[in-house]
Amino acid sequence: MPEIYGNIHSIESCGTVDGPGVRFVIFTQGCPMRCLYCHNPDTWSVNESVQKCTVEEILGQYDGVKEFCKGGITVTGGEPLVQTDFVTELFREARERDIHTALDTSGILFNRENTAKIDKLMEYTSLVMLDIKHIDDDEHKKLTGHSNKNILDFAKYLSGKNIPAWIRHVVVPGINDKEVYLKRLGGFLAELHNVKALDVIPYHDMAIPKYEALGIEYPLKGVPPLSKEDAIKARDIIISAMRNSCSKSK
């Protein structure tokens, strides 16, 4: 079997916001989404000149810092599912070494009609961190350029297979911060049986200098960052809607 190479944008040791514990974080190259608030536009292009790494090369780097990254390995992006074969092989080798594996994904490439590769990947995935950008399909298309139907279906797939999931939701003023959307999201999450955590992340505009350096116009220029207080309020609305939905279903 020929050796599989991953197209890697960058690697960060000692990450603290990419899963449980302190983690070794791999940013893959390539993403079909064009989220208006994306803070890694340099990971979009599949053809960008990047590092090509083997699984052994990456695990060799991990071994050099594993005493500091005891939480495990997280693969993010970009969109890791662009390189499902590589991530599967990486996670397979990691699990053989008893390393916790987390997949940070939008789920955009999930296809219910053909789940063979995802099924294999999930065998070696300890945790999925699923980004749900917007619960409303039309608004999701405006925000990301894509429908959310595959994403929500992926969430249901994970629940059906009882794969532990952390839901991540970036709240952007004037886009998905309306109470009606937050309640709908909570109602949807109440249908899932595998959600271990909910991270409501306040929108920030710290990526503006990166866009300027790349010669790309920042789509949300003028949109103010969301305060931590408003993020907490948004999370409370989602959690309350989850609880209400669960109580009605009993």
What is the per-residue pLDDT for 46?
86
- Using DSSP bridges, classify how beta strands 23-28 and 165-171 pair: parallel, antiparallel or unpaired: unpaired
Domain boundaries defined on the chain: 5-249
| Pick among 1.10.230.10, 3.30.70.260, 3.20.20.70, 2.40.10.220: CATH of 5-249 | 3.20.20.70
The angle formed by the CA atoms of residues 81, 85 and 87, to the nearest 5 degrees, is 65
Predicted pLDDT of residue 250: 59
Average pLDDT, 10 consecutive residues per value, the chain (250 residues): 86 93 97 95 84 95 95 96 97 98 98 97 98 98 97 98 98 97 98 97 95 95 96 98 79
Q: How far is CA 18 from CA 80, 157, 207, in A?
A: 14, 22, 18
